[in-house]
Structure 1
Amino acid sequence: MSPLRAAVLGGLALLLSACAGGPSRSPGDGGDGGLDRSGGASGGGFSGRPAATVLEELKGLSKADIERRFGTPALRRSEATAEIWQYRTRTCSLDVFLYRQPNKSVTVSYAAVRGPSGAQIGEAECLKAVQTARAGEN
């Protein structure tokens, strides 16, 4: 990982952690503070795979792929080699990190979800909420 990329990710992690409160429980998180890693097939449009792999399915997608799936992000931030897109709903936020690849394409390298005030939320649950919000139902 390049020093610039590490600095960008480190800075983002620091900013996000400042927004998070102490440990909190949200419905369905099992109270252990971790993401929903159950084997349940609650993918809702994400091939019914376990929740632990839902965000992995976004890796490698282009900007156009992400916009088709989730619409226009609420926030776009550009860095030297990265773009950070944020989608927000009443129940969660989805952060998508896009990096320029050696072949000049810009693709998703990382994605993360979190509930209100930084609380934990299941990946599949958040992605479904973002898609529902795009459809104007949330």
Structure 2
Amino acid sequence: MTALPGLRASVLLLLLVGCAPPGPDRAASEVLKQVLESHRASLAGLNTAPPPRTSPVTRRGAPSGVAALLGQTREGVIAALGQPTRRRPEGEAEIWLYQGTHCALDVVLYRQSSTPRVAWAAARASGTETRTEAGCLSELTSG
């Protein structure tokens, strides 16, 4: 019997948090929790087809998280983040990279009813800087 991906991620988080030393390294535990929340949002987008958005995310401000990008069309993502740094076709999917100074955002658009929509997105820190998902999205939209 196979476990659900979210359950596996929760078990993994519990194991990782249990390994974190007590005391000042609590920040590491918080980072792990943020990573899990981002992972859960991405899994939710892969496991269910999100309803089409009636109003796209706009450049007025950074999306609060990658979950706000799930289900967006190409135009919605460009309205929120601008043009990607790189685009790469991958079969039925298209992979976009947004590269900032201290982080990067990967976005995977997949065809749903002939319209490509965001099926998966993940923000990640680059270098030694720590970045939250929201901080990364803010960096990418402030340029």
Indicate the TM-score class for this superposition, using the shorter chain for normalisation: 0.5 to 0.7
SS in 2 for 1:61: coil
List gaps (5 residues or longer) in structure 2.
1-25, 38-60
TM-score (norm 1): 0.59
Q: 2:28 maps to what in 1?
A: 31
Selected match of 2:75 from 51, 64, 85: 64
Selected match of 1:79 from 79, 85, 90: 90
| Pairwise CA distance, 1:121 | 2.7
TM-score (norm 2): 0.57
Selected match of 2:136 from 126, 130, 133: 126
- Cα deviation, 1:79-122, whole Å, max 9, x if unaligned, reads 11101101011110011110011x11100001001111487631
| More RCO (CA 8 Å, sep 6+) | 1
Distance 1:92 1:35 in 2: 18
Number of residue pairs the alignment of both structures matches: 92
Structure number with greater Rg is 2
Distance 1:118 1:108 in 2: 28
Q: 1:94 maps to what in 2?
A: 105
SS in 1 for 2:102: coil
Conserved 8 A contact 1:35-1:123: no
Distance 2:81 2:127 in 1: 22
Structure 1 residue ranges (4+ consecutive) displaced by more than 3 angstroms after TM superposition? 117-120
SS in 2 for 1:30: helix
Note if 1:55 corresponds to 2:52: no
Conserved 8 A contact 1:35-1:120: no
- Cα deviation, 1:30-89, whole Å, max 9, x if unaligned, reads 22352635xxxxxx543xxxx6xx211111000011111111111101011101101011
Bigger share in helix: 2
- Cα deviation, 1:4-41, whole Å, max 9, x if unaligned, reads xxxxxxxxxxxxxxxxxxxxxxxxx922352635xxxx
Conserved 8 A contact 2:62-2:141: no
Conserved 8 A contact 1:61-1:108: yes
What's the RMSD between the two structures over aligned residues? Answer: 2.3
